[in-house]
């Protein structure tokens, strides 16, 4: 009876994690299309690691890991944004500086036994409350991203043209970074930094090879992120007896890579 209860709880947690990851994957793919357009794809990977100090503090003090990650990301993003106003360095360079700081602090304070889950996640640690908040946050990210998309596209084409049209690029860059932070914070519990990095970078890179216009690009990015998650969880379910719970982020990333490889055929037509 006790064993059956354990398996039932694991199945429920698996389903809760799947729902969470589907919404996070879709929103991450959509927002990631902006990141690729802005030639900041690697910043998605870097920003996911800026969450590590917050994850460590959450683990040390028994707080919600996602909220700890969000707090760390907000602080890191505000620091990056403030530095961008004070220097002429590129956003990528500033993100890199904060990345090194966050990695160093994160590895110092995260307990060794929890480090694997911080990097790769734990699908059985996602509660119903986590899922509900993640779904709401993902929907909010999609709505805000859709609103700012035209202005961000204009800034990508020409920052001078955007400024002359009244678009405050620094303001929208900050909003954009907050969207990335939200996706990372609520996805990190499912698949760790591996999952969130993969869902921001790979779907958008894949969609770029398959798209003929920006509308297709953004939609394909979201769909590929969502489908990669479903395939990743399906593969994991077949081999769950042989795999650790932290393997899910890696499997989802590999599913995304397969899509990317297939997309090269479209690009080379």
**pLDDT for the residue 142:** 92
Asked, for residue 11, whether it belongs to a domain, the answer is no
**146-155, 182-191, 211-220: which has the minimum mean pLDDT?**
146-155
CB-count burial class (<10 Å; 0-12, 13-18, 19+) for 165: exposed
Could you tell me the CATH number of the domain that includes residue 132?
1.10.3470.10
Residue 236 lies in a domain: yes
Question: 78 in a domain, yes or no?
Answer: yes
How large is the C-alpha radius of gyration of the chain?
18
Give the model's confidence band at 107: pLDDT under 50 very low, under 70 low, under 90 confident, else very high: confident
Is residue 257 predicted with pLDDT exceeding 50? yes
Residues in the chain, how many?
269
Q: How far apart are CA 173 and CA 30, in angstroms?
A: 16
List all residues 6 or more positions away from 223 whose beta carbon is below 8 Å from its beta carbon: 26, 29
Higher pLDDT, 154 or 172: 172
Could you tell me if 26 and 222 are in contact, meaning their C-beta atoms sit under 8 angstroms apart?
A: yes
Domain total of the chain = 1
- Check: pTM over 0.95? Answer yes or no: no
In a domain, 115, yes or no: yes
Does the residue 6 lie in any domain? no
Per-residue pLDDT reduced to its tens digit, 49-89:
788 888 888 877 777 888 888 888 888 888 887 887 778 77
CA distance 2 to 228: 34
Say if 216 falls within a structural domain.
yes
How far apart CA 240 and CA 238 sit, in angstroms, is 6
Which of these, 123, 130, 99, 103, lies nearest to 115 by C-alpha position? 103
pLDDT in tens, 181-202: 888 888 887 777 777 878 888 8
Question: Residue 19 domain-assigned?
Answer: no
- Assess whether pLDDT exceeds 50 at residue 231: yes
Percent of all residues in the chain with a pLDDT value above 90, rounded to a whole number: 9
Residue 8 in any domain: the answer is no
Please give the residue range of the domain that contains residue 176: 27-267
Average pLDDT over residues 212-237: 88
pLDDT at 143 over 90: yes
CA–CA separation, 152 and 173 (whole Å): 8
SS3 39: coil
Q: What is the pLDDT of residue 141?
A: 92
What torsion do the CA atoms of 160, 161, 163, 168 make, to the nearest 10 degrees? -110
């Amino acid at each position: 009876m006790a064993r059956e209860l354990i398996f039932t709880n694991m199945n429920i947690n698996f389903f809760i994690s799947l729902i969470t990851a589907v919404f996070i994957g879709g929103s991450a793919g959509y927002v990631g299309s902006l990141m690729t357009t802005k030639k900041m794809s690697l910043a998605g990977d870097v920003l996911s690691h800026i969450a590590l100090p917050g994850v460590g503090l959450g683990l040390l003090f028994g707080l919600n890991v996602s909220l700890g990650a969000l707090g760390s990301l907000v602080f890191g993003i505000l620091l990056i944004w403030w530095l961008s106003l004070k220097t002429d360095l590129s956003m990528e360079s500033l993100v890199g500086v904060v990345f090194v700081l966050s990695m160093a602090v994160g590895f110092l304070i995260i307990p060794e036994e929890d480090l694997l889950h911080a990097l790769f996640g734990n699908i059985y640690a996602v509660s119903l409350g986590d899922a509900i908040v993640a779904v709401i946050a993902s929907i909010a990210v999609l709505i805000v991203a859709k609103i700012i998309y035209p202005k961000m596209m204009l800034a990508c084409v020409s920052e001078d043209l955007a400024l002359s049209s009244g678009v405050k690029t620094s303001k929208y860059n900050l909003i954009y970074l907050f969207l990335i932070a939200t996706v990372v914070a609520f996805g990190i519990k499912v698949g760790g930094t591996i999952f969130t990095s993969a869902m921001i970078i790979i779907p958008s890179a894949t969609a770029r090879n398959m798209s003929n216009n920006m509308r297709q690009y953004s939609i394909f990015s979201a769909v590929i992120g969502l489908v990669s998650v479903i395939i990743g969880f399906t593969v994991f379910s077949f081999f769950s007896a042989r795999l650790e719970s932290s393997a899910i982020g890696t499997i989802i990333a590999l599913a995304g890579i397969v899509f990317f490889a297939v997309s090269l055929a479209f690009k080379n037509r």
